[in-house]
């Protein structure tokens, strides 16, 4: 499957930055690999379900693409990171929302942030992704 290391770089009450390091061992793609769970978000109140907004992404990927997905048993795509770019900023419009913050979230919402790869099956493929997230919540 490859090696995936997720590290919290900065965390505050309403803000989270995580770093995801990826290294392929040549055995295949990552499919809906969980990089963030609701428990990582520490909801602000007991009656609120944790959620997030994706504000910025910095990344370097060697010969593969990554799809960022959220929220359900069949995760909903949020954004695709093609190997040829390096920074995306969504702050001007408040970020891309986790499906959990919609007024009617899917019934199978699980609040997780996942990644899937394309081209990661070559041994030695590597990359790093840094995600800046805003912690949010909704009534549960």
Predicted pLDDT at 111: 75
Fold of 3-139: Jelly Rolls (2.60.120)
Q: What is this structure's pTM?
A: 0.88
Classify residue 99 by its DSSP letter: G
Which residue, 5, 1, 3, is CA-closest to 130?
5
Is there a contact between 118 and 100 (Cβ–Cβ < 8 Å)?
no
Q: State pLDDT tens for residues 86-96.
A: 999 999 999 99
Domain edges within the chain: 3-139
Predicted pLDDT at 93: 93
């Amino acid at each position: 499957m490859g090696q995936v290391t997720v590290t919290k770089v900065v965390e505050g009450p309403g803000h989270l930055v995580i770093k995801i390091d990826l290294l392929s061992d040549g055995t295949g793609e990552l499919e809906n690999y969980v990089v963030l769970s609701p428990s990582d978000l520490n909801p602000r109140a007991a009656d609120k379900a944790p959620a997030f907004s994706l504000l910025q992404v910095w990344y370097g990927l060697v010969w593969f693409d990554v799809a960022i997905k959220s929220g359900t048993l069949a995760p909903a795509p949020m954004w695709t990171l093609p190997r040829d770019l390096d920074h995306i900023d969504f702050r001007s419009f408040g970020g891309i929302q986790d499906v959990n913050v919609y007024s009617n979230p899917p019934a199978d919402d699980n609040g997780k942030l996942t990644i899937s790869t394309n081209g990661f099956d070559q041994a030695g493929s590597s990359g790093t992704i840094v995600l800046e997230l805003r912690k949010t919540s909704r009534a549960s």
